[in-house]
């Protein structure tokens, strides 16, 4: 187990698997999950010789849950602490859903320190969308409904949220396990990160300054963020490619698990 202290006294958990040498991918989970959403990748990528690092963001999984500090600046600084503590020098940064905003902020706030390639998976944070875009208002409104639901009945919210993420059928056992990931953190952290996502925006300059190979993976049947929004985000990042998963919703890592694994491995191996 690896624990990394921050400058404000929070202890962050970072799971590691795979060989110490060679290529590395740093996996960031989305709201309101934990590093366990990447269980498949943490097992299979090392078999391909790729090292995996998957932290729990503050407030989630095994990491400490402070009363505040869930904005993108703070989360990006937390990520820098992990990178420095583990001595990561060249790695692919792969971020799912809401964590895409943290990844983009890391790239600008810390001058893309150590990142050799950026992968945004189903990027859904309202902060990544243009403030005047209808999709930004829709995303913020969806978050507000989730916040109200979580305050009233978080187990039901987690189960319904899990159902919204996927396009294809998955076993009741898997769905129960997945929705349970959203229950592994305190309600205060779940609400804190959601509120922070509502209040922030990523500047266009942050996107245009990204200078590493970048890809955006998106599901053609995503009900959390439209495919058009994902394509628009890819178009705003110089040289970024948009990779469409035709049989997936938001949770393309499970809807097309084998293809996702192949595309992820291919992206990491293709980096300089």
Band (pLDDT 50/70/90 cuts) for residue 272 is confident
Helix (H, G, I), strand (E, B) or coil at 266: helix
| pLDDT score at 127 | 59
pLDDT tens column, 80-118: 999 999 999 999 999 999 999 999 999 999 998 999 999
Kindly report the backbone phi and psi dihedral angles of residue 22, in degrees, each rounded to the nearest multiple of 5, phi listed first: 85, -155
Two tokens, residue 181: 């990931």
pLDDT tens column, 49-81: 999 999 999 999 999 999 989 999 999 999 999
Two tokens, residue 106: 């890391």
Question: Other C-beta atoms within 10 Å of 152: how many?
Answer: 9
| pLDDT score at 88 | 95
pLDDT tens column, 198-238: 887 777 889 999 999 999 999 999 998 889 989 999 999 99
Measured CA to CA in angstroms, residue 187 lies from 38, 99, 126, 259 at distances of 22, 18, 21, 34
Kindly report the backbone phi and psi dihedral angles of residue 101, in degrees, each rounded to the nearest multiple of 5, phi listed first: -65, -40
* 184 catalytic per annotation: no
Q: What is the pTM of this model?
A: 0.95
Active-site residue (options: 77, 248, 250, 255): 250
CB 259 within 8 A of CB 231: no
Active-site residue (options: 56, 64, 77, 222): 222
CB 244 within 8 A of CB 227: yes
| pLDDT score at 84 | 97
| Alpha-carbon gap, residue 27 to 25, rounded angstroms | 6
Whether the predicted pLDDT of 131 surpasses 50: no
Reported in sequence order, the residue ranges of 150-227 that DSSP labels E, i.e. its strands, are 214-219
Mean per-residue pLDDT, 160-189:
95
Question: Other C-beta atoms within 10 Å of 44: how many?
Answer: 18
Using the CB atoms, write b or e for 48-71: b if 16+ within 10 Å.
eebbbbbbbbbbbbbbbbbeebbb
Active-site residue (options: 72, 97, 122, 179): 97
Return the DSSP state at 92: E
* 222 catalytic per annotation: yes
* 250 catalytic per annotation: yes
Note the maximum CA span of the chain. 48
| pLDDT score at 130 | 47
């Amino acid at each position: 187990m690896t624990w990394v202290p921050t400058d404000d006294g929070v202890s962050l958990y970072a799971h590691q698997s795979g060989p110490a040498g060679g290529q590395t991918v740093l996996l960031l989970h989305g709201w309101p999950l934990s590093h366990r959403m990447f269980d498949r990748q943490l097992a299979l990528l090392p078999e391909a010789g790729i090292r995996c690092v998957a932290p729990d963001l503050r407030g989630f999984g095994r990491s400490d849950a402070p009363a505040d500090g869930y904005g993108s600046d703070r989360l990006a600084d937390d990520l820098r602490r992990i990178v420095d503590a583990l001595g990561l020098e060249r790695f692919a940064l792969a971020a799912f859903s809401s964590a895409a905003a943290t990844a983009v902020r890391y790239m600008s706030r810390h001058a893309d320190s150590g990142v050799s390639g950026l992968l945004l998976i189903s990027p859904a944070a309202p902060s990544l969308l243009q403030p005047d875009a209808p999709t930004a208002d829709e995303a913020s409104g969806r978050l507000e409904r989730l916040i109200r639901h979580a305050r009233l009945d978080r187990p039901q919210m987690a189960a319904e949220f899990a159902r919204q993420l996927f396009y294809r059928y998955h076993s009741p056992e898997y769905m129960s396990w997945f929705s349970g990931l959203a229950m592994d953190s305190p309600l205060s952290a779940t609400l804190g990160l959601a509120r922070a996502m509502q209040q922030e925006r990523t500047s266009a300059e942050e996107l245009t300054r990204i200078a590493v190979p970048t890809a955006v993976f998106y599901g053609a049947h995503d009900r959390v963020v439209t495919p058009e929004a994902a394509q628009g985000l890819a178009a705003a990042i110089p040289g970024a490619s948009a990779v469409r998963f035709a049989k997936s919703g938001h949770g393309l890592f499970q809807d097309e698990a084998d293809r996702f694994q192949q595309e992820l491995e291919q992206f990491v191996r293709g980096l300089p």
